[in-house]
Structure 1
Amino acid sequence: MDNPDFSAQALRQAQVQMPEHGGRLRRAVAEYGIPLERWVDLSTGINPCGWTIPLIDNQTFMRLPENDDELEAAAAEYYGSSDLVPVAGSQEAIRELPRIRQQLFGESRVGVIAPGYEEHRYHWQLNGHQVERLAAEQIETELHRFDCLVLINPCNPSAVRFDQATLARWHQQLAARGGWLVIDEAFLDTEPQQSMIQPQMPSGLIVLRSLGKFFGLAGLRVGFLFADAEIRQMLSRAIGHWSIATPSRWLATRALWDTSWQQEARTWLESSRQRLVRLLEEALEDLPGSLQGRGLASTGLFVTVQIDDAAELAHRLAQQGILVRYFEPYSSLRFGLPGNEHEWRHLARSLTEATAAESQIQV
């Protein structure tokens, strides 16, 4: 006899399409016939000048992970709270939270910010919850209908921000009825004073952080969940003892300790953000239709533009070895930061040529 729980899960998985992501550089290499080394990959929003990996002892690779090393202490110091669980990138917490909610409360009504990182919507829906996409401007009036609200702050890819007072009010409203406010702060390291992480995490508030974006260490797969004791305990049981490899734990600890690099990185990223905003504004201002809606918005790690023919511009940039992220439903492009002067010049030249060609077609 078939296992009914497995069958239901398999059916949901078949009906829920897995999200697409940036960073598909090798697919672009095959599609456009441009060698890998000639590409400038701006599709991911990862710091292109990330923390420098030091020499690491070979013995580190020979040991199983130990939960009583220095990683938790380094993270508590950096984030300002010890109410945390290390996870294999915030993706592991994104996957497990809907399961934990299902175990505790059963099927829930979940509002997920849109546009946003689609893995949130995917896993809540995959685990049988009623999921509805919400635009930022809908949340205030629609919050009463939901048990959980899942946000990204600042939002990827829209760069919309939510202030702490608003988030605190929404958390109180949800927690009063046993609900959760889940905040993905993957892009908040450039402005850490805006974090909702608290020394003692209250019930119903869950915050996710990662070393992937600001530190430029996406390949380490190290992140953290901040929540109350019950959720932390359930997550720890779900992921087991060896979620993060020993070398990743060792390197993440030292990156979190490196306050000098962190300060320098924030200064460089802000300067680069401003430079990219100016470059895009100048390049796109003469396109037919110009920038629509909000037009251009940014975080410390990417700039998103909304234009009439985003797909065509993304294609023309790719023809010149510039890979950006295209969001079809919103006619938007997300540009990560170039990592050196060669990449800046390549982007500036490619934008000039791509927008000139597009303008000629549309005239």
Structure 2
Amino acid sequence: MTQTHDLVLRHGGALDAAIARFGGVRADWLDLSTGINPLPPSLPPVPADAWTRLPERAAEDRLIAAARSAYGAGKEAAIVAGPGSQALISNLPFCLPPSKIAILSPTYSEHGLAFAAAGHDVLRISPLDALPGDAATVVVVNPNNPDGRHIAPADLLSLAERLAGRGGLLVVDEAFVDAEPHWSLAASAGMPGLLIHRSFGKVYGLAGLRLGFALTTCELAGRLSERLGPWAVSGPALAIGTAILEDGGLRKRLSRQLNANADRLKSLLQTAGLEIVGRTALFVTIRHANAYRLHEALCGHHILTRPFDHSPDWLRFGLPGAAAEWDRLEEALAKILRLG
């Protein structure tokens, strides 16, 4: 397997690697490899001093208040803002004593990599019933990436309570929950034994801003904040994140739009004869016997999707944006599958 192939498999968004292998320039490509809203809202104005001064505590406090309200977290929840949810995922394992970590898999690979880097014993389990009794921390992505699996909040809360009873922790990554808020545990944030990761950039289509949150207990939030250090979030990210999170109407409009487009994508893929594995509001995953060949054929049309080394018969499609992108995907699939 080439280095370029490794990059494409490990994460979506490896467009430069795809161009290096299949040619073209960025403007030629339709990148459907990430679960990111392709139609971001207009950016709010950013105060000039957000670029020239170190971030002030008051600005971070306002961002945290906006996140608390947007996510429906109570006053018991301690919220840590970081430069993207990935930074919080990477730093959390260093805030916990080395122990056995159970990760419900397959899922976002960076959780396992981060815990292993911090010296934890990582065990990948499936299904959740296979949880070993000596696991100190359990990681669940809900809704799950890449298969769209959903787990009822009541079941996760019950698990968190059991783990808390023996000093353990349930980590729930809710990176894809914003457009499906009824699956979120944010209202229970602050209870012992629970930490919730939230991503800002996916649903708002602003992944390059690098902003994310961890909702948990005061004690664990303090350790995580100390690990991140001062000024973890840039001034422009504080300003943009606050303005957008304070806009409840925008959040509802995006939720309706994304869910409608995910249903449209699911229908398009089914019509093309592809078997659906699952969906969230930001992507649809299909099963195909020759998924990687389909991925490469689409790359030949300069359409980038997301294959998986752990499930070689899966392929994930993010949402197209403009009308011409929907037409381009439909036409490419019709041509490839008719020839295939």
TM-score w.r.t. structure 1 length?
0.87
Give yes or no for the alignment of 1:356 onto 2:338. yes
Question: What's the counterpart of residue 94 of structure 2?
Answer: 99
Give yes or no for the alignment of 1:201 onto 2:190. yes
CA contact (8 A) 2:143 2:174 kept: yes
CA contact (8 A) 1:80 1:199 kept: no
Task: Pick the structure with greater CA Rg.
Answer: 1
The residue identity in structure 2 corresponding to 1:121 is: G
Give distance in 2, aligned partners of 1:344 and 1:141: 40
CA contact (8 A) 1:186 1:209 kept: yes
Question: What's the counterpart of residue 84 of structure 1?
Answer: 79
Question: What's the counterpart of residue 232 of structure 1?
Answer: 221
Give the root-mean-square deviation of aligned CA atoms: 1.6
Identify the range of structure 1 (313-322 vs 200-209) with the bigger mean alpha-carbon deviation.
200-209
Question: What's the counterpart of residue 130 of structure 1?
Answer: 121
Give yes or no for the alignment of 1:329 onto 2:310. yes
**Cα shift readout 1:110-162 (whole Å, capped 9, x = no counterpart):** 11121111110001011111101112x2x224242311100100000011111
**Cα shift readout 1:275-298 (whole Å, capped 9, x = no counterpart):** 10011011125xxxxx3xxx4310
Matches within 5 A, 1:27-66: 27-66=17-56
Question: What residue ranges of structure 2 are gaps of 5+ in the alignment?
Answer: 1-5
Question: What residue ranges of structure 1 are gaps of 5+ in the alignment?
Answer: 1-16, 286-290, 359-363
The residue identity in structure 2 corresponding to 1:219 is: G
Give distance in 2, aligned partners of 1:143 and 1:174: 11
Residue aligned with 2:307, SS: strand
Change in 2 beyond 3 A, CA 1:145/1:307: farther
TM-score w.r.t. structure 2 length?
0.93
CA contact (8 A) 2:140 2:172 kept: yes
Matches within 5 A, 1:1-363: 20-69=10-59, 70-81=62-73, 82=75, 83-102=78-97, 107-135=98-126, 137=127, 139-198=128-187, 201-285=190-274, 291=275, 295-330=276-311, 331-358=313-340
User: What is the aligned residue count?
Assistant: 328
Give distance in 1, aligned partners of 2:261 and 2:141: 22
The residue identity in structure 2 corresponding to 1:146 is: A
Moved over 3 A (4+): none
Give distance in 1, aligned partners of 2:284 and 2:294: 15
Residue aligned with 2:54, SS: coil
Residue aligned with 2:102, SS: strand
Residue aligned with 2:201, SS: coil
CA contact (8 A) 1:311 1:328 kept: no
Give distance in 1, aligned partners of 2:50 and 2:162: 46
Question: What's the counterpart of residue 10 of structure 1?
Answer: none
CA contact (8 A) 1:95 1:123 kept: yes
